[in-house]
Structure 1
Amino acid sequence: MSTRRAHPGAPHGVRKPPLHDGPFASTPYNQPLDMSLGGWIPDRPDQLADWIDKILKELKKHKEIENPAVIGFKNAIESDPELFMGFHRLFDSVPESDPLGRPQVKDYLTMLKCFDRFVNDAPEYNPDFLVFLPFTAIMQWPMSMSNGLTILINRDVNDQFRNVFAVWSKYLSSPESAWVLTENAKGWLGEAAMQNMPGFIDLFVCDPKLPHWGFTSWDSFFARKLRDNARPVDYPDDSTYIASACESKVLRYRTKVNAKDTFWFKDSQPYSLVHMLADPLANSFIGGTVYQAFLSPYYYHRWHAPVTGTIVKALVVEGTYFAGIPEDSPPSPDLVAFQGQQPFLTHVATRALIFILADDARIGLMCFIGVGMVEVSSCDITVHAGQRVQKGDEIGSFHFGGSTHALVFGPQVKLQFLEEEGDYVNVRSACAKLV
């Protein structure tokens, strides 16, 4: 029987609201788990179209690209015939206008002008919808189509994206980005925003008496720290229980996972250990189990050790940013990019791998995977090989960007999962037990 967890901020053990309650109520309950359901971009196409229309109108006053990283991206495209041709084809399938006749982003120069605008901006809270991932909102059409995959999986292209996102990440970590951390209607510390983050002051290190509640930048708010007494570890001395590494909603779990599999099939997306783990240690997990869960922008974004043990290896695998499983035809107006593609992204996106040898021999070697999806995708590992960790210790963090994570266990580990798909799980609470 599943042991249900409370909704964030609710008393421990209280039945949480259904998946379709709360700030994302307009998302159908049976819609695949995607970026929209996580709240990263609007779940209503008319809202997204309104936002794109607003951005394109602003760009009419924004004639020249100014940021050196974006200029470098432009030069890379125009100096390489393969990239030049690829970026023209990238936008071939995008319609000239949306259903209301408003223009779309139809060429790489407009794309780059949008990027140039975004790198010096921080996301305001919007009480109606969120455009947390502005780059993804611009790229959602081309990255959903088959003619986009070849160019968006290109290493040189992803190096250029990485350069641009490094600039944005620097801004989001600067004091200038704290302008969105206010208590007004569009501020992240305001009453409307806080309704989505109940118990915030008691849970997180902050001081409402200080400017911006003590947060020095947007990133310091996004990657905020828990107070010492918040989110205690379930069963800290009982290794039978596995702790949730992140505050997240369960996506799915799979057993008898193969070393290699066709993970790019959209309808099934099996896990392919060799590609997902990108390390010789992948052989230790053949026939094992993968548990995956995803994070909302409102959630806590630091990672914690699911077991007590020793760090064997910790590394970041640089990957793609906007490569997704292509559609056979243009996506319907009510869908957004990356619809149900989080398992695929564990194989190709930038990700942190932390291998832990558990003290409990019944678990042995396991792996935490932190997947930084789309823009920024910053995975910050704070532990190192040889380090001892106790269940619940902090091991790293996501910085701004979409995110999902997975726990991987060997074939000898038999688990009973305590949550169902779609259930919310507190960080450091029990998500599974050995059987």
Structure 2
Amino acid sequence: MSTDIARARQRAGAAPRRSGGLLRLATCGSVDDGKSTLVGRLLYDTKSVLADQLAAIEEASRRRGQDDPDLALLTDGLRAEREQGITIDVAYRYFATPRRRFILADTPGHVQYTRNMVTGASTADLAVILVDARKGVVEQTMRHAAITALLRVPHVVLAVNKMDAVAYDESVFTAIVDEFTARAGELGLNGAVAIPMSALAGDNVVEPSSAMDWYTGDTLLAHLEHVPLGADPTGKPLRLPVQYVIRQPSGDRRTVERWLAGQLASGLLRVGDPVVVQPAGATSTVVALSVLGRESDIAWAPQSVAVRLADDIDVARGEVLTAGAAPRPQRRLTATVCHLDDRPLRAGQRVLLKHTTRTVPALVESVTYRTDIAVARRLPCQDGLAGNDIGGVRILTAEPLAVDDYADNRRTGSFLLIDPQDGATLSAGMVDAGADHQPDH
């Protein structure tokens, strides 16, 4: 955090940040790899479970004939999940240690709910990909690895779970790590940290395991507490998507002031800064800022802010205030998408494209390839993308959009494709203009 921001927080009376900051993480993997049990173990061993929650879990476990508390029930909160013993929705949990605060998204493992994994991992700083030591790397493991790579999650942990079921055999762990590393590298996912563990027994989750003295690395919690956080969003160029235009009387009640409200996607904004309104290209200067209803001379991502400009220019919802290296407004987008709907996405299909706070009509000009997760190859795609497919598309929008490449800015480089008839979300997309979108030969 810059000195300017630190001073602004002090003037505003904001609480000091807990040492280590906030880490957003997502757990993912195949069905029955133990994701919910792992999350429950983290919450239980870090004493992040309230007494009444633990009592409810113990009672639910007794009704199911279990002597010990089923820690998976701490996250599988939906009645349907408890009855089926699987995770369906994304379960968010919050916990903290003296070193860091955490927001954890426990995502579904079943292939039918891969779309929910995209939701959980889209804002994550770290992904924990679980593998059952008895089963090894399976197709769903690689599907989640591909999505993790696609979403450019900065850090990845390969958690080889249920080591107690294979007698804590080091050779089993090594073989799984070697296979995952090779296959994930083909998907562009490198640098995963591998940890052998048993979420059920608590081995290497919070406390080191005495049963695996051959492993000398960190426990999962120790790694989560010390992993470097991602790039500071205030170090990126200014991006402020306008969500709402507020009109209110001025101080003398003679004129009406126009304030532009939204959440900063990236960058810093100060009174006196010049800005460019994209995609129109109009320029002006910031004359006032309001944060949480209080005037301020500075704001930073990801704060929500209201901005008043020096010039009475036409700015509407969906336009973006920019500074520095501004995106070039464009109507043709080259992107990679994860298709979420059961209906296929085909060339020639008319959709709505939602980018930040703006929604415009669009046309899927072409579907350039489909990724075969099993062999990490891009295949020709004549029939479109089916549900849970990952592939490349080219899209023509009715109006120009101020988009960044996803690699440069996850907020302004992402979008959703929506069915104009029923409003269903069809695909989650990432702009990658410089990527090769030809099938492999």
Task: State which structure, 1 or 2, has the greater radius of gyration over its C-alpha atoms.
Answer: 2
| Fold-level similarity (TM above 0.5) | no
**Higher share in helix:** 1
**Higher share in strand:** 2
Q: Structure 2 length as normaliser, TM-score?
A: 0.23
Of structures 1 and 2, the one scoring higher in RCO (CA 8 A, sep 6+) is 1
